[in-house]
Amino acid sequence: MDLNDRHVVVTGAAGGIGEALARRFHAAGARVVVADLDAAGAEVVAASLGAERAGSALGLGVDVGTEAGNVELIDAAEAAFGPVDLFFANAGVGIGQDLDTTEAIWQTAFDVNVHAHRWAAKHLVPDWVARGEGYFCSTASAAGLLSQIGSAPYSLTKHAAVAFAEWLSITYGDRGVRVSCLCPQGVNTRMLNGGDDRAGNDIAGSVGGDVVRAAGNVLEPAEVAEVVLQAIGDERFLILPHPEVHTYLQRKAADADRWLAGMRKLQARITG
Ligand SMILES: NC(=O)c1ccc[n+]([C@@H]2O[C@H](COP(=O)([O-])OP(=O)(O)OC[C@H]3O[C@@H](n4cnc5c(N)ncnc54)[C@H](O)[C@@H]3O)[C@@H](O)[C@H]2O)c1
CA dihedral 223, 136, 232, 14 (to 10 degrees): -30
- Is 255 part of any domain? no
153 burial (CB, 10 Å; 0-12 / 13-18 / 19+) is buried
Task: Report the C-alpha gap between 1 and 22 in whole angstroms.
Answer: 16
- Is 261 part of any domain? no
* Residue 258 CA, ligand 1 centroid: distance in Å: 31
Q: For position 194, what pLDDT does the model report?
A: 72
| 199, pLDDT greater than 90 | no
Q: Could you say which DSSP state residue 113 is in? A: I
Residues contacting residue 206 through CB under 8 Å, at least 6 positions apart: 94, 95, 96, 97, 150, 151, 153, 154
- What single string gives the DSSP state of each residue in 209-230? HHHHHHHSPPBPHHHHHHHHHH
| 203, pLDDT greater than 70 | no
Residues contacting residue 75 through CB under 8 Å, at least 6 positions apart: none
Whichever domain contains 100, its CATH number is 3.40.50.720
- Is 144 part of any domain? yes
Task: Report the C-alpha gap between 265 and 260 in whole angstroms.
Answer: 9
Question: Known catalytic residue: 135?
Answer: no
Quickly list H helices, the chain: 16-27, 39-52, 67-81, 103-110, 116-131, 152-172, 190-193, 209-215, 221-234, 244-254, 256-271
> Is the pLDDT higher at 217 or at 18?
18
- Is 112 part of any domain? yes
Q: Express as a percent the part of the chain with pLDDT over 70.
A: 93
The reported pTM is 0.96
| 164, pLDDT greater than 90 | yes
Q: Are 129 and 172 in contact (CB under 8 A)?
A: yes
Residue among 71, 76, 37, 75 nearest 58 (CA): 76
Over the stretch 205-259, which tens digit does the pLDDT of each residue have? 556 666 677 777 999 999 999 999 999 999 999 999 999 999 999 999 999 999 9
Task: Report the C-alpha gap between 11 and 61 in whole angstroms.
Answer: 10
Q: Are 184 and 246 in contact (CB under 8 A)?
A: no
Cα-to-chain-centroid distance, residue 56: 22
- Is 28 part of any domain? yes
* Residue 248 CA, ligand 1 centroid: distance in Å: 23
Task: Report the C-alpha gap between 79 and 171 in whole angstroms.
Answer: 28
Q: Are 239 and 231 in contact (CB under 8 A)?
A: yes
Task: Report the C-alpha gap between 258 and 106 in whole angstroms.
Answer: 29
Residue among 16, 3, 2 nearest 184 (CA): 16
Task: Report the C-alpha gap between 19 and 36 in whole angstroms.
Answer: 10
Q: For position 270, what pLDDT does the model report?
A: 82
Tell me the pairing of strands 134-139 and 177-182.
parallel
* Residue 216 CA, ligand 1 centroid: distance in Å: 19
* Residue 260 CA, ligand 1 centroid: distance in Å: 27
Quote the number of domains for the chain: 1
- Is 257 part of any domain? no
Of ligand 1's listed atoms, the one at least distance from the Cα of 91 is 24
Instruction: Look up the domain containing 24 and give its range.
Output: 7-246
Residues at CB less than 6 angstroms from ligand 1? 11-12, 14-18, 36-38, 62-65, 90-94, 112, 139, 141, 184, 186-187, 189-192, 197-199, 212
- Is 92 part of any domain? yes
Q: Which residue(s) pair with 177 in the sheet?
A: 134
Task: Report the C-alpha gap between 126 and 37 in whole angstroms.
Answer: 26
> Is the pLDDT higher at 115 or at 206?
115
Per-residue pLDDT band for 201 (boundaries 50, 70, 90) equals low
Q: For position 158, what pLDDT does the model report?
A: 98
| Residues making up the chain, counted from first to last | 272
- Is 263 part of any domain? no
Q: Are 219 and 240 in contact (CB under 8 A)?
A: no
Nearest CA to ligand 1 atom 2: 187
